[in-house]
Amino acid sequence: MTMQNNLKDGERIDELQRNGYRIIQDKGRFCFGMDAVLLSGFAHVKSGESVLDLGTGTGIIPILLEAKSEGKYFCGLEIQEDSADMARRSVALNYLEEKIEIVTGDIKDASKIFGASSFDVITTNPPYMIGQHGLKNPDEAKAIARHEILCTLEDVIRETACILKPRGRFFMVHRPFRLSEIFCCMTRYGIEPKRMKLVYPFIDKEPNMVLIEGMRGGNPRMTVEKPLIVYKEQGVYTDEIYDIYGY
C-alpha cells in the first residue's frame, strides 16, 4: 500500500525542506507552526545523544532534530492517540523507524514510562495558555495542544527534571508573558536556565515567543542571545528564518 493510500480523511503530506523528509498533517486537528521549527533550530543535540520530545503532536520536532543533528535516538511522547498514529506514519514515511519512536502516553506519567535519568536532551512545545488566556478552540485536539487542559507547565518541568540525566539539557518554546513563572518553576525543580532568545514578529513589535535552554543541576548563569526577528516586512522572512527552515 502506498503512503498516499494510507492517508486518512482530511490528511495531507507536506515537504519539510530537510533531507527530503515529509510529514503527514491534518489541518482539522493541529498542524505544526513556526514555534516548533524555531525550537528545532535552537536545540543542540550532540553526537550519540538520546532525545525525548514531550507532547510531540505530529512528531515534527523529533523528525527535524534527526535531520539536523547526529543524535542516536529520538522519542516523542503524545497523549492523543490520533496524533501519535499520524506521527508514527510520518516516521515510517521517512524510513526513520530505527531512529525515532513515538510513544502514546501522558506527560504527567513520563517519568514512570521512561524512568529516571534516561535522556540526554528533552524538548517541548507545550500548551501556552492557562485559564481564560486566549479563546479555547472548540475543536478538542487543537484546544489540548494550545491550552493547559491535560497538563500544566509544572507537570512538564517536574517530569523533565526526573527524566533528564544529570547535566542534561532542556529546550522549550513558550510565551514571554509567562517568563517569571517559567524561571521560578525551572529553578524549583533543579533545572537552571542557561540560555534565552526572544522572538519578535517584526523589529518594532513586542516579542511573541521565547526560546529557553536549561540544564539539570547547572550553575546559575544565563546567556541572553540576540533577538530573532521573523519578518523583514509583511510576508517576507528574514535571512535567519530562511536558514532555520532550510530554504
pLDDT at 213: 98
pLDDT at 1: 39
Alpha carbon 158 to its chain's center = 17
Backbone angles phi, psi at 114, to 5 degrees: -105, -20
pLDDT at 9: 85
For the chain, which residues score pLDDT lower than 50? 1-2, 132-135, 144-145, 147-148
Q: Nearest 5 degrees, angle CA 142-CA 191-CA 37?
A: 40
pLDDT at 197: 98
Q: Nearest 5 degrees, angle CA 161-CA 155-CA 36?
A: 85
Q: 173 with 210: CB under 8 angstroms?
A: yes
Hey, what's the torsion of the CAs at 51, 178, 200, 57, to 10 degrees?
Answer: 40
pLDDT at 146: 52
pLDDT at 246: 80
How far apart CA 41 and CA 52 sit, in angstroms, is 16
pLDDT at 226: 97
pLDDT at 129: 59
How far apart CA 102 and CA 140 sit, in angstroms, is 21
Q: How far is CA 96 from CA 42, 67, 75, in A?
A: 22, 10, 11
Q: 57 with 78: CB under 8 angstroms?
A: yes
pLDDT at 64: 96
191 DSSP β-pair partners: 216
Q: Which domains does the chain have, with CATH numbers?
A: 4-245 (3.40.50.150)
β-bridge pairing 50-54 and 119-124:
parallel
